Amino acid sequence: MHSCKQTSARLMVDLAAIRKNHTRLAERVGGAECAAVVKADAYGLGVREIASCLSEKVQTFFVAQPEEGCQLRRLLPEKRIFVLHGFSPGRPETMVDHSLVPVLNSLEQVRQWRAFCQQVGTEHPAALQFDTGMSRFGISEDDLRDEVVRGLKPVLVMSHLACADQPDDPANKEQCQRFLAMSAAFPGVPRSLAASSGIFLGSDYHFEMVRPGIALYGLPPHEGDRSLFPAIGLEAQILQIRTLKVGERIGYGLTYRAEQPMRVATVGIGYADGIFRSFARNGALWKGDIRLPVLGRISMDSLSVDVTHLPDDATREGEWLTLIGPQQDITKVADHVGTIGYEVLTSLGYRFDRFYNG
C-alpha cells in the first residue's frame, strides 16, 4: 500500500527558530522567568511538537482551557501548567487529577476553589488574575477586600495588557500601576503582567514572569520590529495549468475576466485551509521573487493565480508556490485580509502536511 498522505499544501515550522526566539525573549527579560503560552494547539502549529521543542528551556506553560491542560499534561509530565480560564464551573477536581494550576478569574471561582480545597483538606496551588482595566478576566480592586480573596495564598498573581502592541498608549502605564497596587495585597507572590508585546515595553513590565505566545512563533510584537526569527512557512501545489483566451472568466461568480491571453494555475489551498476569501482582494502567491496575483474568488479547496509571467520550467503541475515565507510574512497576509497575525495562524486548517525542522 502506498501512503495516502498526499495533501496539496504544506506548513513548515522551524523549531530551531522557535527555540531561538525563546532565548531572545528570555535574554530581554533578564532575571524574570520566560514561560510559554501554547493555547489553541500552540496557535495552530501543533502543541505536541511546540511543547516538546521548548521543554528543555521552559519550566512553565500556559493553556486556555482545562481540556488543553489535560492534553499538555500527558506530553509534559514534569512541567508546571497554568490554565488561563481556570477550572470549568463545578469541576475543580480536574485540576488536581492532572496537576494543573487554575488561574482564578472571579470572586465566584475563588470561592469555589477555596471550598474545594477545604473539602479535600489540601491547599492546592492556584493563580489569581486581577482586572487592571481590560474588563475581561480577573477580580476587581473591590474584590480584593473580600475575605475569601484575602485568605487565598496564590502561587502567582497576574493580569493582561489591552494595548501592549501600541507602546505609546497611556493605558499601558495605567494598567501597570494598577497591577502594582493590586499585587501589594499579596506581598512576595510572583507577579506576571506581560505577554509578547508587553515584554517589549521595557523592564517595568517584566516583574517575575512573562508569558509570550505569538513572539515565540516569530511574529513581530510591534510594527517594524525585526528582532525575532520567522518560524513559519506555507506552500501550496499547482494542480492544473490552464490557458485563457480573452473574455474567458474564472471561478465562482465568474468575477475575473481575462483581458488578454493569460496562463492561470489552479492551486490546492482554499478557505477550508484558513485562507480567507478576502485574501483574493489583493493577495498573491509567490515563486521566488515573482508575484502571482490571486484571480477571482477563493474556493473551499483551491484558488487561482496568474502565472503568465512565471518561467515555463516552473509552470507545471506539482510545482510548489509560497503563501507564507520571506516574500510575504504572516503579518502581510493578515494585512491583506484585514485581520491580525494571530487570527491567520489560528485559522490554519488541519489538512496540511506539517513539517517540523530543527
Strand 9-14 with 353-357, pairing: parallel
> Given the rule CB under 6 A, which of 9-17, 212-220, 242-250, 323-331 is the region that contacts ligand PLP?
212-220
Selecting among 57, 153, 252, 350, the annotated active-site residue is: 252
Nearer to ligand PLP, 92 or 213 (CB): 213
Residues 113-172 that bind ligand PLP (CB under 6 A): 160
Least CB distance from residue 214 to ligand PLP, whole Å?
A: 4
Tell me the window of 88-96, 208-216, 311-319, 323-331 that interacts with ligand PLP (CB under 6 A).
208-216
Alpha carbons 289 and 50: distance in angstroms, whole number: 30
8 Å CB contact between 44 and 345: yes
Smaller CB separation from ligand PLP, 156 or 215: 215
Find the catalytic residue in 20, 39, 79, 245.
39
Q: Are 195 and 84 in contact (CB under 8 A)?
A: no
Tell which one of 213, 251, 283, 296 touches ligand PLP (CB under 6 A). Answer: 213
To ligand PLP, the closest distance from the beta carbon of 170 in angstroms equals 20
Alpha-carbon distance 206 to 222, whole Å? 17
Dig out the grid coordinates for 228 from the structure: 525575532
Determine if 283 is a binding residue for ligand PLP (CB under 6 A). no
Q: How near is the Cβ of 211 to ligand PLP at its closest, in Å?
A: 4
Q: Min. distance of Cβ 212 from ligand PLP in angstroms?
A: 5
Q: Taking the complex as a whole, how short is the minimal distance between the CB of residue 35 and ligand PLP, in angstroms?
A: 9
By beta-carbon distance, which residue lies closest to ligand PLP? Answer: 213
Residue selected from 195, 265, 324, 348 as contacting ligand PLP according to rule CB under 6 A: 195
Decide if 353 contacts 5 (C-beta within 8 A).
Answer: yes
Least distance from C-beta 154 to ligand PLP, angstroms? 15
Say whether 79 is catalytic: no
Residue 252 annotated as catalytic: yes
Interaction residues for ligand PLP, span 10-69 (CB under 6 A): 37, 39
- Would you count residue 84 as binding ligand PLP (CB under 6 A)? yes
**Interface with ligand PLP includes 206 (CB under 6 A)?**
no
Longest Cα–Cα distance of the chain, Å, equals 79
User: Could you tell me which of 51, 17, 47 has the C-alpha nearest to residue 35?
Assistant: 51
- What is the spatial distance between Cα 128 and Cα 92, in angstroms, rounded to a whole number? 15
Give me the least distance between CB of 189 and ligand PLP, in Å please: 17
What percentage of the chain's residues is helix, strand, coil (to nearest 5)?
Answer: 35, 25, 45
Binding-site member from 19, 211, 287, 336 for ligand PLP (CB under 6 A)? 211
Fill in the DSSP letter of residue 130: B
One-character DSSP codes across 48-79: HHHHHHHTTT-SEEEESSHHHHHHHHHH-TTS
Nearer to ligand PLP, 269 or 330 (CB): 330
* Strands 353-357 and 191-192, sheet pairing: unpaired
For ligand PLP, the binding residue among 212, 233, 268, 325 (CB under 6 A) is 212
Which candidate, 324, 282, 321, 275, places its Cα nearest to that of 301? 275
Cα gap 200→196, rounded to integer Å: 7
Alpha-carbon distance 238 to 260, whole Å?
22
Q: Which helix (H) or strand (E) covers residue 235, if one does? A: strand 232-244
The site for ligand PLP, by CB under 6 A, has a size of 11
Instruction: List active site positions.
Output: 39, 252
Query: Where along the sequence are the contacts to ligand PLP (CB under 6 A)?
Result: 37, 39, 84, 160, 195-196, 211-215
